Amino acid sequence: MTTAPSKAPDKAAAAADRPHDDDERPGVRGQVVAVIGLLDRPLTSYYLVLGCSVLLLTLGLTMVLSASSVKQLQATGSAFTLLQKQAMWVGIGLPLMWLAARLAPKAFRALAYPLLLLSVLALVLVLVPGLGQTAGGATRWLRFGGGFQLQPSEPAKLGLVLWAADLLARKEKLRQLNEWRQLLMPLLPGTGLVVLLVMLGNDLGTTLVLLTIFLAVLWVVGAPARLFVGITGLIGVLVAILIVVEPYRMRRLTGFLDPTGDPLKDNYQGLQGLFAVASGGWFGTGLGEGRAKWQYLPHSETDFIFAIIGEELGLVGTLVVLGLFGLLAYAGLRIARRVKDPFMRLAAAGVTAWVVVQAIVNIGAVIGVLPITGIPLPLVSYGGSALIPTLIALGMLLSFAKREPGARQALAARGPGPVRRALSWLGLARR
């Protein structure tokens, strides 16, 4: 009696030839571990801040040219007028950023009080009739000769960050943060003075950013939950009062709640911004090929430059911008978490809150999820008053990132940078 040959060995061999899930998982797991390891390197924060800043600056220069070319060609005969001015501000800001990245924390602490005092003085001058310039319903500019003008509320953000961080770091060192009075005095009156001066100029957007910095340092320093919630509630009431007492802000709020109402006046800018973003589709109309800048969208190179990005670069372009700001937020919070010095921790958190919240408010206004406040998109929108303090603040983050655990050793192991190598090749520096 013969038996049929068994097929079990063939099945076993075939099963052995097929890749198992267990064989595949180590590869995927290894890739995940590699990515996590890359993010956990000592200089990760440094390179993220530097890379995101440079990419956003480059995108900003490109989009300022695209957004302003038509209007400037008609007004001045050259499409490059605002690009040249913005490039000049970048040329001033980048060396200041490089210098800030090389300063020690004690240098920033020394600058805290003078910078805040000068900012307060400039904010007072803005309110003097004949000196302050009004635009868009807000009095926030000091105009000098030769077309040069300054918005003092922008350096005031940096001054408030440094002053608040230095003040709370000193109190923490002296163990004076156990009571709410010690926590809020004189932080609350000092912040209130700066906020009051900005509010008197009807600049609600900058007021919100200043209050965000105040809340950020309170959170990081470890304010009690009840105190933090109470102050947040008071700020909400204050903002509501500011909106109600000013007719144009109330019109913006009602326009935000009813976007289709009054499309040719109060809602015109918001609707045109939404049309620009929506018309971009996935990949946009092409760089320089947008239609909104042809006298359809007001302030397309400043407050609504994100709409031009959405129109010309599409959803992909907007997601890149969001990703860059997301990475910048991650890097800033990573620095605040890893540094040991209380001043660096508080200052890093304050700068991160300032830049990221300002970006969220600007983008939210363009896409219609937040009311229009008139604040620029950091590093991207046109304007030197906002750009230079932001670059200095990011340079300070770079300085702090070099003081994370293991960062100094990693920098030393990296060897001389390209500038020093080039100088050594030319015989201008020691090898």
Q: Do residues 171 and 181 lie in contact, with contact meaning Cβ atoms separated by under 8 Å?
A: no
Supply 321's token pair: 């911008």
Helices 204-221 and 187-200 cross at an angle (nearest 10°) of: 170
pLDDT computed for residue 126 by the predictor: 86
Extended strands (E) in 98-220 = 132-135, 138-143, 149-150
Secondary structure (3-state) at 133: strand
pLDDT computed for residue 261 by the predictor: 65
Bridge partners of residue 141, in order along the sequence? 133
pLDDT computed for residue 104 by the predictor: 94
Residues of the chain with pLDDT under 50: 1-9, 11-12, 14-16, 19, 21-24, 430-431
Bridge partners of residue 150, in order along the sequence? 142
pLDDT digits (tens, 9 = 90+) for 177-211: 777 777 788 888 999 999 988 888 777 888 889 99
Bridge partners of residue 139, in order along the sequence? 134
Residue 289, Cβ density class (10 Å: 0-12 exposed, 13-18 middle, ≥19 buried): exposed
Supply 136's token pair: 């868009």
Q: What is the pTM of this model?
A: 0.86
